[in-house]
Amino acid sequence: MKFLKVLILLSFASTASAFSPSEAFQHDADILRLEHIEYWSGLFEEYQKKEGHYPFQNLLDNPSVLGLVKIITKNQSEYLQKGTNEYREDLDMNAKGRFTEKDVSELVVELERVLERTISGKYDIQSVPTQSPVGYYYFFTNDGYLIWTTYFSGGVTPISTLLYDGYTPTVNIVSEGMKENVTKALTREEMLRHKIYKKWKKKKLLKEEYVRNLERSLAESSKQELNSEPLH
């Protein structure tokens, strides 16, 4: 895994001198993170219009039960799932078992079942976490849903806040019923209209071909894993 991280950083070594290789990678990863959180939240909203609830929301049997899907790749799960050699308890959103957890493969199957089309997964291109979690996090409750991503380029703004670690900036999209429960969270529609978010979206990729290829390879590999592994 460390070797993979080195290869990724080296690919950015020739980027404009205004960025270090790691800064350039995070710049591009952040651009994709916003694209991906739009993508997943769009699927959740489309699902709700057809089913009358968000994915897995109907499985919650009382208001105290909260659900979680870590939208992560197999490589990322090595750091974020108990029982693996590289497990990082400090980065695991469900280390204490507070949430009823569903696998991302189950989420994709459910979305495909209801939306009646193939879903191409969009995954964080940062395979190895450092001080902050990688991936996207979908929480489902009786009140609705939250999906959040890290977004290092933004810092703390009226539409972004810090994770519980006091270090990691995050962007949070929620359903209407969850707005009062999540700090600085906006609905998908509100987020896409916000002037700060629009400014972020105007940023250009520094290594577009490289990160798009990486994005596609993660989607393809995750689909292969989904087709070859039984659901939990």
In whole angstroms, give the CA distance from residue 57 to residue 60: 6
Q: What pLDDT shows up at residue 228? A: 55
* Whole-structure pTM value: 0.89
38-59 pLDDT tens trace: 999 999 999 999 999 999 999 9
Please tell me which of 16-30, 102-116, 214-228 the model is most confident about, judged by mean pLDDT.
Answer: 102-116
In whole angstroms, give the CA distance from residue 48 to residue 42: 10
Helix, strand or coil, per DSSP, at residue 161: strand
Per the CB < 8 A criterion, the answer to whether 175 and 68 are in contact is no
Residue recorded with tokens 């969009």? 122
Average pLDDT of 199-213?
Answer: 97
In whole angstroms, give the CA distance from residue 216 to residue 232: 25
The amino acid that residue 141 corresponds to is: T
The amino acid that residue 94 corresponds to is: N
Q: What pLDDT shows up at residue 29? A: 98
Per the CB < 8 A criterion, the answer to whether 103 and 173 are in contact is no
**229 or 54: whose pLDDT is higher?**
54
Q: What pLDDT shows up at residue 74? A: 92
**61 or 190: whose pLDDT is higher?**
190
Phi first, then psi, for residue 65 (nearest 5°) are: -85, 130
145-172 pLDDT tens trace: 999 999 999 999 999 999 988 999 999 9
Per the CB < 8 A criterion, the answer to whether 168 and 150 are in contact is yes
- Sign of the CA dihedral running 110, 113, 192, 22: positive
The pLDDT of residue 2 is above 70: no
The pLDDT of residue 32 is above 70: yes
Phi first, then psi, for residue 200 (nearest 5°) are: -60, -40
Q: What pLDDT shows up at residue 7? A: 53
Can you read off the two tokens belonging to residue 14? Answer: 């020739």
71-130 pLDDT tens trace: 999 999 999 999 999 999 999 999 999 999 999 999 999 999 999 999 999 999 999 999
